[in-house]
A and B are shown apart, each in its own frame.
Chain A
Amino acid sequence: MSTSLAKTTTTEKIPTAEPKATVSAAEMGARQREISVSEFFTKNRHLLGFDNPRKALLTCVKEAVDNALDAAEEAGILPDVLVKVEVAPSNGSAPPPASQATRFRVTVTDNGPGIVRQQIPPIFAKLLYGSKFHRLRMSRGQQGIGISAAGMYAQLTTGKPVQIISRTGARAAAHYFEVQIDTKKNEPRIFENKKIDWKPPRGTQVTLEIEGRYQKGRASVDEYLEQVAIANPHVNLVYLTPEGETREYPRTIHELPPQPKEIKPHPYGIEFGILLRMLHDTKSHSLSGFLAGDFSRVSAAVAQEICKTAKLSLNARPRNIHGEDAEALYKAIQATKIMAPPSNCVSPIGEKAILHGLYKQIKGDFYTAVTRPPSVYRGNPFVIEAGLAYGKGPEQAAAAPEAPAAPLAEGEQREDDSELARVIRYANRVPLLYQQSACATFKAVLETAWRNYGIAQSKGALPGGPMVVFVHMASVWVPFTSESKEAIADYDEIRKEIKLGLQECGRRLGMFLRRRERAKSEFRRRNIFELYIEEVVEACARLKGGKLAKEKLKTQLQKIATKRTGGARTDEILGGDGGPEGLPHSIIVTPEGPEGEAPVLPGAEASDGAPAEAPAPKTEKAAPGRRKGKAKAARATKAARSTKTAKRKRR
């Protein structure tokens, strides 16, 4: 064995010792050629989120929806978006059921400003073409890859071109395009281009036919759209599922979020190479003019200070600064104190809107939201927002205690469901569904000491309990860990802000839980005493050989119990159940209805004349299957809670 091995190695060594020149440098040189972006991404489609059919379907929906929302918002239009996912017809035979199908047609229609005719082909069929890359302004899309990559994926898997209908106004005609990418040149190829009749007065519709898989549950299209609805309560979203259902996510906030402003780069966020490029490209003729004009937060005085530190003349020509001078300038910038960048370029969702979004989509007892003041990482301003939805909602909570039917035998235990919290993450209002554990938000959730707020948490794990944790990062440039935008990179500044936001939410939740616990324990106390008094009186009567005025003793003890448990005060607490007093930006839901800044959901008035109570069961339609078996339970309890008295009794 060893000899034969030795032999082969020696025989193999011979050719390397005497290399035959098989390829000449000239021949090799002839093989070198440019690689187009499109070719690169065709081979590396996982970088853009097309790793597998299931994720590909989600990515296509996501890119189209992101574009629709960005366009409408930038044009100052309250977005109405219709998402339709259907099983693509396969040559004549009956289409397979959605769960078995492998080909889907995704159609996203918006009421945005529309796209002018000439721009349609490059936007949808040229990679790295877009309006958002070269500016520092907060938007969902950043790179100009997304929708054309989706089109490329369609082309790759089904060969079908992207179909676009767009109309810029009631007086303009609607244009219909079919386009594909020429992957070698990264240029659009137009298959079809005609004017058609289209009902909507304005908007864009994109249709993609792709290979994909439709599967419900985590990281599904359904979940994505639900989360979009949470973070974008100003959007009216309708989703037609491949199974033929219609899900409506109605608008609860009727104003657009403030338009984010475009800003110039902040000096702290500039790398050396970029500084060199900017020095070269600037239109200013003096260094001080360049500094004050091309950067944000650099005044004439600050520019002067930088020049002084760098030992450079104020009037030096920017183009002539390179080498050591440029390095000195770069160091001087870092050493100079410069005000944080303006934050009006970032538009947070806002506490009220987050509350509405959470309340609309997630059933719970307590909701809260925090918008942190703006902060900066690497010169990029950003805002962190955190939110919480806690509990199972009053209907579920009321249904639960009915379960134990028989007294427990020794060793038996009541079952405690030990679910973990769910984290929903957003970057610039876009839900992030993959790579949770690589994300700064997730790490911040793990690092927050939830136990301080009365929430169970095992070491290194998510907090336990029926809880949804919401984290949003809004920034002119969200640092993603990859092009497919799945996780936020872990900058210390970002993680710190997230933690501060979560801590504030946690404190409010802790207060809510403590208050509720106090009221509950008073109630329990009285309950306990009532039960125990019975037992003690009986036992005392037996001890006294039956010679005891039982009723008298019982009344006496009950009187003490009432006095000890706070008497009328307790009744108040029990009746009021806490209330959101002192808890800013929070909603508390009790069986009597929500308290706090709760929105009235559309359709609430229609139900049995009790508007405050209606929203919770109504959302059932809009948010099916948030947790398994939830809808069923809610339906069951709905019947049970027909009268208020029945409900009270159970509590």
Chain B
Amino acid sequence: MAQAKVKSPGPVEKKLVGVADTVIVAADKSKDPTLSIPVRSLANVNFNEKRGIIEMGKRKQARTFFNVGMAKKFMQTVLVADALAELQRAGLTTSLREIYYRTKHTMKDSHENTFDNQNESDPLIEDLEVTLAALREELHVRAENAGSIVGPVVLADDGDRVDCARLGKGGYSVPSIVEPEFIEIRRCTADFILLVEKGTQWNRLSEDKFWRRYNCVLLTGNGQPPRGVRRLARRLHEEYKIPVYVLVDNDPWGYYIYSVVKQGSINLAFESQRMAIPKAKFIGLSSADPDHYGLPRNVGIKLNDKDIGRAKELLKYRWFQKKDWQEEIKRMLASGLKYELDALANKDFRYLTKTYLPRKLKEQDWLD
């Protein structure tokens, strides 16, 4: 494949070349080339209470070349590593799908494709992430832009100055890769970060200029926040020492979104240390809020079986063992109802901006 201008290889590229070295060294010793890949599953996840994050366990699986079951995967892994190295050399970023197309071809003298569909190549990228301890961003693989930011933050993106306070109510679309090489945070004068689950509520807050009044950064990930949003929140939190508050629906999925922001996710446990924000606080919607704020029962939604099952799972997670959290979840189960953030509009269109959040912040009514 195309070779970029010769420059000294970066640390990630070196790691990728290491895959080739594994093969070469093993071949020299007449050994079966083997990659040992950390296991990515719930069984191989630990909760580090001291650091407050989910960490990956030590279990690894060997992927060997000369094993019929693994030979193709091994070959595919090397091909993906090659494509990723090419990205590094060319200084490009790409999508998972493009990686798939880049590495797909028919093998010599056969009718067999290296890859038949993208489902085969995606997990290999994650395998390489964990094996090489390199984040997807560092591997220059991006996802869709799926988040927005607005507030007193100044960023530099490809040399362009982006003042997030001057981007109207639409804000800046958070790219999927926000590593320092790509996005520089020039200034941030906010007092805190508010990470909102839903785009609609973020729009409400942005439209009402909530961020200006309370001097904060408004972030949203439109549901489960993508890596770019989580990473940007983490960088702002770390580099500017400002607290992060998470505003989600009052349902088990909202709780889980909060826990992903705080401790990291089970799937991507290996990058918790770069993504998790252990000090993030859960500001709402709490199962106690309907009482405190007088939300009528009829704006609630009945918990379905899936919700109840998920909630019971959450009760067992080690990172939800704090007394307050057990109470919070049990209270929801006892009421049998869940509430959307949108339900606050029942009181007033601007209830979130004018009453709910100000009171929450004033009373410091959040969960840790």
Q: For residue B66, which residue of chain A has the nearest CB?
A: A564
A542 to B86 Cα, complex, angstroms = 9
Cross-chain contact A535 with B27 (CB below 8 angstroms)? no
Is there a chain B Cβ closer than 8 Å to A323's Cβ?
no
Of A46-54, A147-155, A554-562, the one with at least 4 CB within 8 A of chain B: A554-562
A529 to B68 Cα, complex, angstroms = 8
Q: Tell me which of A411, A535, A544, A565 has the highest count of chain B C-beta atoms within 10 A of its own C-beta.
A: A535
Contacts of A548 in B (CB 8 A): 20, 24
Cross-chain contact B117 with A528 (CB below 8 angstroms)? no
Of B107-115, B291-299, B322-330, the one with at least 4 CB within 8 A of chain A: B107-115
Is there a chain B Cβ closer than 8 Å to A29's Cβ?
no
Is there a chain B Cβ closer than 8 Å to A21's Cβ?
no
Q: For residue A553, which residue of chain B has the nearest CB?
A: B27
Contacts of A540 in B (CB 8 A): 20, 23-24, 78, 82
Which of A406, A525, A539, A556 lies in contact with B28, CB distance below 8 A?
A556
Of B69-77, B192-200, B206-214, the one with at least 4 CB within 8 A of chain A: B69-77
B-contacting residues, A518-551, CB 8 Å: 521, 524-525, 528-529, 531-532, 534-536, 539-540, 542-546, 548
Q: Mark B224-241, 1 if CB is under 8 A from A, else 0.
A: 000000000000000000
Is there a chain B Cβ closer than 8 Å to A324's Cβ?
no
Cross-chain contact A536 with B110 (CB below 8 angstroms)? no
**Least distance between A89 CB and chain B CB atoms (Å):** 57
Q: For residue A556, which residue of chain B has the nearest CB?
A: B27
Cross-chain contact A542 with B30 (CB below 8 angstroms)? no
Cross-chain contact B117 with A411 (CB below 8 angstroms)? yes
A379 to B113 Cα, complex, angstroms = 64
Cross-chain contact A528 with B72 (CB below 8 angstroms)? yes
Which of A532, A539, A543 lies in contact with B72, CB distance below 8 A?
A532
**Least distance between A520 CB and chain B CB atoms (Å):** 11
A535 to B113 Cα, complex, angstroms = 11
Q: For residue A412, which residue of chain B has the nearest CB?
A: B116
B-contacting residues, A355-396, CB 8 Å: none
**Least distance between A530 CB and chain B CB atoms (Å):** 9
Is there a chain A Cβ closer than 8 Å to B1's Cβ?
yes
Cross-chain contact B3 with A528 (CB below 8 angstroms)? no
Is there a chain A Cβ closer than 8 Å to B106's Cβ?
yes
A535 to B79 Cα, complex, angstroms = 8
Contacts of A534 in B (CB 8 A): 107-108
Is there a chain B Cβ closer than 8 Å to A19's Cβ?
no
Contacts of A524 in B (CB 8 A): 68
Cross-chain contact B31 with A543 (CB below 8 angstroms)? no
Which of A411, A542, A564 lies in contact with B32, CB distance below 8 A?
A564
Q: Mark B2-25, 1 if CB is under 8 A from A, else 0.
A: 010010000000001101100110
A521 to B71 Cα, complex, angstroms = 13
Cross-chain contact B65 with A536 (CB below 8 angstroms)? yes
Q: For residue B89, which residue of chain A has the nearest CB?
A: A545
A330 to B183 Cα, complex, angstroms = 101
Contacts of B106 in A (CB 8 A): 407
A408 to B105 Cα, complex, angstroms = 10
Cross-chain contact B3 with A407 (CB below 8 angstroms)? no
Which of A406, A535, A544 lies in contact with B17, CB distance below 8 A?
A544
Contacts of B19 in A (CB 8 A): 543
**Least distance between B341 CB and chain A CB atoms (Å):** 39
Is there a chain B Cβ closer than 8 Å to A273's Cβ?
no
A543 to B68 Cα, complex, angstroms = 24
Is there a chain A Cβ closer than 8 Å to B85's Cβ?
yes
A151 to B18 Cα, complex, angstroms = 88
Cross-chain contact A542 with B24 (CB below 8 angstroms)? no
**Least distance between A325 CB and chain B CB atoms (Å):** 72
Cross-chain contact B23 with A553 (CB below 8 angstroms)? yes
Cross-chain contact A408 with B27 (CB below 8 angstroms)? no
Cross-chain contact B65 with A521 (CB below 8 angstroms)? no
A404 to B108 Cα, complex, angstroms = 15
Q: Mark B112-129, 1 if CB is under 8 A from A, else 0.
A: 111011100000000000
Which of B32, B68, B75 lies in contact with A536, CB distance below 8 A?
B75
Q: Mark A558-590, 1 if CB is under 8 A from B, else 0.
A: 011101110000000000000000000000000
Contacts of B74 in A (CB 8 A): 532, 536
Contacts of B71 in A (CB 8 A): 525, 528-529, 532
Is there a chain B Cβ closer than 8 Å to A410's Cβ?
yes
Which of A535, A561, A564 lies in contact with B78, CB distance below 8 A?
A535
Contacts of B6 in A (CB 8 A): 545
Is there a chain A Cβ closer than 8 Å to B81's Cβ?
yes
A561 to B118 Cα, complex, angstroms = 28
Q: For residue A522, which residue of chain B has the nearest CB?
A: B68
Q: For residue A549, which residue of chain B has the nearest CB?
A: B24
Cross-chain contact B85 with A543 (CB below 8 angstroms)? yes
Cross-chain contact A408 with B68 (CB below 8 angstroms)? no
A545 to B82 Cα, complex, angstroms = 10
**Least distance between B101 CB and chain A CB atoms (Å):** 10
Q: For residue A524, which residue of chain B has the nearest CB?
A: B68
Which of B79, B111, B117 lies in contact with A539, CB distance below 8 A?
B79
Contacts of A536 in B (CB 8 A): 23, 65, 74-75, 78
Q: Mark A320-344, 1 if CB is under 8 A from B, else 0.
A: 0000000000000000000000000
Q: Tell me which of B86, B106, B112 has the highest count of chain A C-beta atoms within 10 A of its own C-beta.
A: B112
**Least distance between A475 CB and chain B CB atoms (Å):** 49
Q: For residue B2, which residue of chain A has the nearest CB?
A: A542
A406 to B110 Cα, complex, angstroms = 10
A407 to B110 Cα, complex, angstroms = 8
A279 to B114 Cα, complex, angstroms = 83
A540 to B33 Cα, complex, angstroms = 12
Cross-chain contact B27 with A544 (CB below 8 angstroms)? no
Q: Mark A231-248, 1 if CB is under 8 A from B, else 0.
A: 000000000000000000
Contacts of B118 in A (CB 8 A): 410
**Least distance between B65 CB and chain A CB atoms (Å):** 7
Contacts of A532 in B (CB 8 A): 65, 71-72, 74-75, 107
Cross-chain contact A531 with B112 (CB below 8 angstroms)? yes
Contacts of A561 in B (CB 8 A): 66
Q: Which residues of A contact B (CB under 8 A)?
A: 404-408, 410-411, 521, 524-525, 528-529, 531-532, 534-536, 539-540, 542-546, 548, 553, 556-557, 559-561, 563-565
Q: Which 8 A-B pairs have the closest CB atoms?
A: A543-B20, A556-B27, A540-B20, A532-B75, A539-B82, A564-B66, A407-B106, A539-B78
Known interface pairs A542-B82, A561-B66; 17 further A-B residue pairs with C-beta atoms within 8 A, sorted by A's residue number? A405-B111, A407-B113, A521-B68, A528-B71, A531-B112, A532-B75, A535-B108, A536-B23, A540-B23, A542-B3, A542-B85, A543-B19, A543-B81, A543-B82, A545-B6, A557-B65, A564-B32
15 examples of A-B residue contacts, CB within 8 angstroms: A411-B117, A525-B68, A528-B71, A529-B71, A531-B110, A532-B74, A534-B107, A535-B107, A535-B114, A539-B81, A543-B16, A556-B27, A557-B23, A560-B30, A563-B30
